[in-house]
Amino acid sequence: MDSARVIAREGSCYAVYDGFPVSEGHILIIPERHIASFRELTEDEWLSVHKLAKKLSARLLEQDKTIDGFNLGINDGKAAGQTIFHAHVHLIPRRKNDVENPRGGVRHVIPCKGCYPANTEPER
């Protein structure tokens, strides 16, 4: 990784702005250890991811008052859309009206699964 791109570090992880951002401020949180899947992260690496996500989301909120929320996501495996096989977590800032209907959030990765009735209780 080009160290000039690194915007923050925490423990065994670092963060960079995504080269193909979904929204302005889209950040990748990446473990230094080369692993393909989040399932291989150690507890310490997970803690570093968590700390960076909290720190960077707070920084983004402070810098950009148009941010109203975040998606935090991982593409794990080819079937899930992973194209870079070095585990990483996406921190994606969201803004009011950035999509017509944000309800369902990450559920929209599968077409037609993001929308569901607002008054429906999930089965338990």
Instruction: List the catalytic residues.
Output: 88
* Cβ proximity of 31 and 13 under 8 Å: yes
Q: How far apart are CA 92 and CA 124, in angstroms?
A: 30
CA gap 113, 74 in Å, rounded: 18
Spatial neighbors of 21 by CB under 8 A, at least 6 apart, are none
Cα separation, 82 vs 119, in Å, equals 33
